[in-house]
Amino acid sequence: MNIEKLREKFSELYSKKGSVYASPGRINLIGEHTDYNGGFVLPGAVDKGIVAEIRFNSTDKVRAHALDLNESSEFGLNETDAPKEGWAKYIFGVCREMIKRGAKLQGFDTVFSGDVPLGAGMSSSAALESTYAFALNDMLSLGFEKMELAKIGQATEHNYVGVKCGIMDQFASIFGKAGHLMRLDCRSFEYEYVPFDPESNGYKVVLVDTCVKHELVGSPYNRRRESCERAVNAIRKRHPEVEFLRDAKMEWLEEVIGEITTEDYIRAEYAIGEVARLLAACEALSKNDYETVGRKMYGTHIGMSVLYDVSCKELDFVNEIAKECGVTGSRVMGGGFGGCTINVVPIDKYDAFIETVKAGYKAAFGIDCQIYPVVISDGARKLC
């Protein structure tokens, strides 16, 4: 991240120096669309994210500048003072969610910049929310626990962006730890850090970005969630102990097959399967059994493509090439509808895979895919 340019812009706009904070994007090894189903996820923070310089300005206004877009926005802290710019709504939402939880905020000046690719399924928006939630909490000593900061980011998505997301992305951005994945129980919010050292075990982890921009704002993501909720409601009538799909057995879904639509049925089938796949993958990872982890990842891809219908032809193509190149595990990562695949690649097959996928993708779609080697890094922090 180019902090020098950020700082230059900040002093050019506001003639002062502020504090600098950063929050990362994330990967998720397995466990997709499980968070809002009360299941588990296995994310890790990456070495790409958002960085922001911030200084209180003794007014009740926020003056924000998005360096990469070269756009500015000014807004207040009251509900009626929302900004017009889409990107500024994330900052405004974080402020509002903090105020709703009792925080006394003040106006501030800020410039932010990022190197986490937008719309690639690496949670650029969670990185933006987490940066401001973490920074304001720290600078004003607001006393929010880290988990509450993640929930503030999630509530921003729900109430100010319109995406009814789960907690995974904001959690990963706030709690990330270098060299570790995090196994989070999205019902109890209990988590553990899982050491993740694929290279010592003969593998590299790499993202292949199809550069097909995914867009979670709008209905498709929320519709998946609604399907799962309808399936849960049907199952709960017979099995009142079922709070989320995470609690449901596949046989219980079969019992309600005639009571829900085919679409809701196959979405729920995916989600129940994915909760189980994650648990099996975690068990395998604890034994450094990457072959099993990889097979589960391919299983997730098929589920996300065929049952959950959140893949696209470009992602399926990249997944197919991975299989042909002997990649151990490969699947669409994040919400889907475009973005990246995550790939666990044997080190001796790495170079050939990268060459083949780049050339094959260009030949098939006429555009370049992007390759991001995964470096698992720390979560939200103050830089200076």
Residue numbers annotated as active site? 169
User: Binding string to ligand GLA for residues 320 to 349, with x set by CB under 6 A, is what?
Assistant: --------------xx--------------
Of 8-16, 166-174, 238-246, 357-365, which part binds ligand GLA (CB under 6 A)?
A: 166-174
Shortest separation between residue 64's beta carbon and ligand GLA, angstroms: 22
Locus of tokens 């189903």: 37
Residue 119 touching ligand GLA (CB under 6 A) = no
Residue 97 touching ligand GLA (CB under 6 A) = no
Q: Residue 56, Cβ neighbours under 10 Å: how many? A: 15
**CA dihedral defined by 28, 32, 34, 36, rounded to 10 degrees?**
90
Q: Which of 45, 168, 268, 332 binds ligand GLA (CB under 6 A)?
A: 168
Closest alpha carbon to 23 in 109, 90, 115: 115
Task: Please say which residue, 109 or 264, places its beta carbon nearer to ligand GLA.
Answer: 264
3-state secondary structure of 18: coil
User: Binding string to ligand GLA for residues 169 to 208, with x set by CB under 6 A, is what?
Assistant: x---------------------------------------
| CB-count burial class (<10 Å; 0-12, 13-18, 19+) for 197 | exposed
Residue 151 touching ligand GLA (CB under 6 A) = no
What distance in Å separates the CA atoms of residue 384 and residue 377, rounded to the nearest whole number? Answer: 18
282-311: string of b/e by CB count within 10 Å (b at 16+)? bebbeeeebebbbbbbbbbbbbbbebbbbb
Of 9-17, 98-106, 165-173, 192-200, which part binds ligand GLA (CB under 6 A)?
A: 165-173
# binding residues, ligand GLA (CB under 6 A): 11
Task: Please say which residue, 161 or 371, places its beta carbon nearer to ligand GLA.
Answer: 161
Shortest separation between residue 34's beta carbon and ligand GLA, angstroms: 6
Residue 266 touching ligand GLA (CB under 6 A) = no
Pairing status of strand 43-56 against strand 191-195: unpaired
What distance in Å separates the CA atoms of residue 374 and residue 340, rounded to the nearest whole number? Answer: 12
Pairing status of strand 108-114 against strand 61-66: parallel
What distance in Å separates the CA atoms of residue 269 and residue 261, rounded to the nearest whole number? Answer: 12
Task: Please say which residue, 170 or 343, places its beta carbon nearer to ligand GLA.
Answer: 170
User: Binding string to ligand GLA for residues 9 to 38, with x set by CB under 6 A, is what?
Assistant: -----------------------xx-xx--
Residue 246 touching ligand GLA (CB under 6 A) = no
**Adjacent-strand bridge partners of 184:** 41, 191
What distance in Å separates the CA atoms of residue 124 and residue 107, rounded to the nearest whole number? Answer: 24
The residue type found at 325 is: C
Binding residues (CB under 6 A) for ligand GLA: these are 32-33, 35-36, 123, 165-166, 168-169, 334-335
